Structure 1
Amino acid sequence: MESALEEIEFLALSANRVEVLESLAEEGHTRNELAAATGASQATLGRILGDFRERSWIRREGSEYVATATGRLVASGITDLQRIIETERRLREVVDYLPRTELTFDLRRLADATITTPSQTRPNAPLSRLLELLEGADDVRTVSHAFNEQTLSLVQDRAETSEQTFRGVFSRSAIEALVDDAALRDRLEALLATDGTAIRVRDGSVPLAVMLLDDVVYLLLRDEQGVLRASIDTDDEAVRSWAEETIAEYWTNADSLADAGFSLE
């Protein structure tokens, strides 16, 4: 009897085998329908169907072939494996910058996420993506170890015209950097004076930068030196639930600006 790895190899070495099994797992097909759907020759189909019948993955019902219960199980598994590998390949370039201990959702939920990385022609592409999302958001909630000038300026402008509500938890170093710069301090004070704005300070570590912009989750990824490496954004429901819970937890465990020693509010 072949090992599990040998069975996986048997399927993986032929795209036609995978496509035929997945098709039959969905519904019954005649041999001619399978040939039209896959482009496989009749000789190739004959070998595939014969191999599948030997493994009891399919059976014949009249003129159609259908997957058995175990055939559907294998088809589901190979589909899941393909999706996992496709997601891994998309994340491969940025995996070293993911806040691993913080991301408690299944990474497969990022399969359709938008991944933005810097390039020679667009070195600030991740930040530009964030500003684009901020422009259209009505409600913004965030946890971050930084609050850069462009983001602060845009949030302030939209908050002052009542186009956006904003609530954020930032590291102490992020707020200190703004307070130490006169122009940025003025902007921060102006933001805090608007309705629908609230900011808290986290004295402990803030190992991630996540923003919830209406229904979109945005992750800003930096390396250990603080260099911007990428961003990921998605409207996946499970990731959104994670972001809501994470931001709420940080908010609960953070201090007001006054309690943190900042006389800004």
Structure 2
Amino acid sequence: MESALSEIEFLALSPNRVAVLRRLAQEPHTRTDLVVATGASQATLGRILRDFEERSWIRRIEGGYVATATGTLVAEGFLDLLEIMEIEGELRPIVRYLPADELGFDLRRFADATITVPSGTKPNAPVKRVLDFLRTATEVRVFSHAFNEGSLRVIEKRVNAGEMTFEGVLSRSALDAVADDAGLRRRLGSLLETSAATVRVRDGEIPVAVTVADSVVHMLLRDENGILQASVDTDDVAVRDWARETFEAYWEAAKQVDPDELTH
């Protein structure tokens, strides 16, 4: 293990080494190609190539160099680690709010995700992010333990205008919160009167707040006190598949909301 860590350190301490090995694992390059691509000096490149040859990570070919099978293995593994660390760095500020046990996909699927956090000038930025999706989506599905007023307002308006279809599964606590607020109760009641919207209620908990707006999956993340901390959204295929399957499981286990449940 110590030897392996030493080799990882050898690569990690030099961006030029990583760049050269990555390029040679992709295709053959001449020394001139590598100098141009990396910006390394001839002397630095010469040392890198010698070090790689000693490790049997590359071999000479006519006109240049190419990675060996083990060199390619090292390059792929190291680049995977780099990607993981980059994703971890993005998720680190919000990982405490991620319902990791509920996410049926590898967190690497968040590689291209957009993370939105509140700020002093934009305290509602995560909600605004989902509202932007709702204002253009034509098909929306939601499963959630909460239903914010802004989302419900946009959904009601667009469904009644014939611009959107909507299916939602709410936890019992979320439905009760809507029923306790006159404005929210009226908006949800309006939705229930249309054929383009169906809302079901689940007596069990729904530990995540997810909106699927066309091809985008958006999650609102709250802390243990229910305070909004961030949102994450992505159009990654694996995340979409997870959201679809999870929605369908909640949908099958839920019952349609009776408008009388909203009457106070």
**Cα shift readout 1:74-104 (whole Å, capped 9, x = no counterpart):** 1111111111000000011100000111112
Tell me how far apart the structure 2 counterparts of residues 179 and 236 of structure 1 sit (CA, whole Å).
34
1:165 shift after superposition: 0.5
In structure 2, runs of 5+ residues without a counterpart are none
Equivalent residues in 2 for 1:186-205, closer than 5 Å: 186-205=186-205
Q: Which residue of 1 aligns with 2:232?
A: 232
Letter in 1 for 2:157: D
Tell me how far apart the structure 1 counterparts of residues 125 and 148 of structure 2 sit (CA, whole Å).
15
Letter in 1 for 2:97: Y
Q: Which residue of 1 aligns with 2:41?
A: 41
Letter in 1 for 2:72: R
1:2 shift after superposition: 6.4
1:178 shift after superposition: 1.5
Label 1:2 to 1:36 Cα distance change in 2 as closer, same or farther (>3 A): farther
In the alignment, is the contact (CA less than 8 A) between 1:159 and 1:195 conserved in 2?
A: no
Equivalent residues in 2 for 1:1-265, closer than 5 Å: 3-258=3-258, 262=261
Letter in 2 for 1:262: E
1:180 shift after superposition: 1.9
1:181 shift after superposition: 2.2
Tell me how far apart the structure 1 counterparts of residues 92 and 76 of structure 2 sit (CA, whole Å).
24
Tell me how far apart the structure 2 counterparts of residues 263 and 129 of structure 1 sit (CA, whole Å).
28
Letter in 2 for 1:173: S
SS where residue 142 of structure 2 aligns? Answer: strand
Label 1:2 to 1:42 Cα distance change in 2 as closer, same or farther (>3 A): farther
CA-atom RMSD in angstroms: 1.5
Letter in 1 for 2:261: F
Letter in 2 for 1:254: A
**Cα shift readout 1:94-138 (whole Å, capped 9, x = no counterpart):** 000001111120111111111000000000000011111100100
Letter in 1 for 2:17: R
% identity of equivalent residues: 60
Letter in 1 for 2:129: R
In the alignment, is the contact (CA less than 8 A) between 2:179 and 2:262 conserved in 1?
A: no
SS where residue 231 of structure 1 aligns? Answer: strand
In structure 1, runs of 5+ residues without a counterpart are none
Tell me how far apart the structure 1 counterparts of residues 55 and 260 of structure 2 sit (CA, whole Å).
70
Tell me how far apart the structure 2 counterparts of residues 99 and 228 of structure 1 sit (CA, whole Å).
14
Tell me how far apart the structure 1 counterparts of residues 148 and 42 of structure 2 sit (CA, whole Å).
62
1:261 shift after superposition: 7.5
TM-score by length of 2: 0.96
In the alignment, is the contact (CA less than 8 A) between 2:185 and 2:262 conserved in 1?
A: no
TM-score by length of 1: 0.96
Tell me how far apart the structure 2 counterparts of residues 63 and 181 of structure 1 sit (CA, whole Å).
75
1:34 shift after superposition: 0.6
1:195 shift after superposition: 1.8
Count of residue correspondences? 263
1:62 shift after superposition: 1.5
Tell me how far apart the structure 2 counterparts of residues 163 and 190 of structure 1 sit (CA, whole Å).
15
